[in-house]
Chain A
Amino acid sequence: MKVLIRLFRIFFRLGLFTFGGGFAMIPLIEEEIIKKNSMLKEDEFFDIIAFTQSLPGSLAVNMSIFIGYHISGIPGALTSSIAVVIPPFTVILLIASFFVRFLEHPIAQQAFKGIRIAVLVLILLALKRLAQKVHWNILKVVLVAGIIVAISNFGIHPGFVILLSAALGYFVFQPMEEKEG
C-alpha cells in the first residue's frame, strides 16, 4: 500500500508537469523514478520507451502503465496510470468551462489566428521527425500517397488504413528488407 501511495504521488506530479506530450515526460521520469527513488533501472526504462512507442494510445499513459506494473504489478499499473491522467483532465475541464467566453474577445481571436499557424508548423515538424525514422523505399512512398488519396478523396476509415499497413509491414516490407540485408 505504501508503494502505491508513493506511486500515486509521483505520477500525479508527472501528470501535472508534463507539457506537450509523452516525450516531455522522459526527463521527469528519470529524475523522479530512477534517480530519486531508484524504483527502476536506466536500461529498463529505455526498453520501456522503445516498446511503448509501438503501442496504440498515449505514450505518457502507456509508459506509466509499464513502469507501474514493473514496480508493483497490476495495482501499480492502475495507480500510476490513473494518477497521471487526473491533473490534465482537471486542467482541461477548467479550460473548457471558461475558454469559450475567453475566445470571444477580439484580441484572443487575433492571437488564435496566429496560434493556428504555429500548430500547422508543429505538426509539419512532427512529420519531419517521424519521416527520419523510416527506412524509405518506393513502396512506402506509394503507401503514404495512397493513404492521403484514399482518406481525403474516398473517405476510407483510418482504422482500416492502420490494419492494412500493419499487414503490409509484416508480409511485404519485413521480408523485403531482410532480403536486402
Chain B
Amino acid sequence: MFRLLIVFLQVGVFSFGGGYAAIPFIEQLLIVRNEWMAYEEFVDIIAIAQMSPGPIAVNSATFVGFNLEKFLGALTATIGVLLLPSLISITLAKYFKEFKKSKYIRGLLKGLRPAVIGLIATAEISIGITAFVGYSNLVILKSVIIAILVFVFLDLFDQHPITAIFLSGVLGVLLF
C-alpha cells in the first residue's frame, strides 16, 4: 500500500501537461519496474479512461489501485496522483499574475515539451510492440487496417476519440 502511494506520488508530480503525459510514468513505474499489470490491461485502462469522465491519470490511478488493493487501494492511488500537483497549484494560484509572464517558466518549458514527447513516444513504442510483435501475418494485417481506418477517421474527418473507440471495437468484433 505504501509502495502504491509512493509510485502514484511520482506519477502525479512528473506528468507535465496533463492527459497523455502520465502514460509513460504509469508504464515505466507500474509495468516495467513493479509488474503490477500487463500491457494489454494498461491499454484497456487508457481506452476506458477515454470513454469515462475525468482525467486519464486519475482514472488509471483509481483503476490500478482497485485492481491491486480494492477500495482502499483505489483511494490511496487517487490521492497519491493528485496530492503533489494540487499542492503546487494551490501555492502557485496565489502568485499566478507574477508567474504568468516569467522567463524562467518559459525556459523550463522549452526543455519539458520535447521531453514529454520523448517520454510518450517511448511508451507508444512499447505498447506498439505488444500489439504487433509475435502475431501471425494475418492478425498484423487486420490490425494495420484498423489502425489506418481509425487514423483517417480521427485525423482527416476530425471525429471524437470516443466515437473512434466504438468504431475500433466494432471493427475488432468483425475482423478478429
Contact = CB atoms under 8 A, between A and B. Distances in A.
A1 interface: no
Listed residue (B85, B114, B124) with the most chain A CB atoms within 10 angstroms of its CB: B114
B164 A59 contact: no
A85 B78 contact: yes
Contacts of B55: 21-22, 58-61, 88
Interface of B: 10, 12-20, 22-25, 28-29, 32, 40, 43-44, 46-59, 62-63, 66-67, 71, 74, 78, 81-82, 84-86, 88-90, 92-94, 96, 99-100, 103-128, 131, 143, 146-147, 150-151, 154-155, 160-162, 164-165, 167-173, 175-176
B125 A115 contact: no
Given A88-B62, A130-B120, A147-B118, A54 B109 contact: yes
Binding site secondary structure of chain B:
helix
A5 interface: no
A6 B66 CA distance: 31
A93 interface: yes
Interface string A111-155: 111111111111111110011011100001001111110011001
Contact of B110 (A56, A126, A155, A173): A173
B115 A147 contact: yes
A166 B150 CA distance: 34
A39 interface: no
B63 to A, nearest CB: 5
Contacts, number: 344
Contacts of B105: 54
Contact of A103 (B44, B82, B118): B44
Interface residues of A, number: 95
Contacts of B155: 125
Given A55-B16, A55-B88, A144-B118, A114 B175 contact: yes
Closest 9 CB pairs of A and B: A114-B172, A169-B111, A88-B54, A57-B85, A147-B118, A59-B18, A165-B115, A118-B168, A58-B55
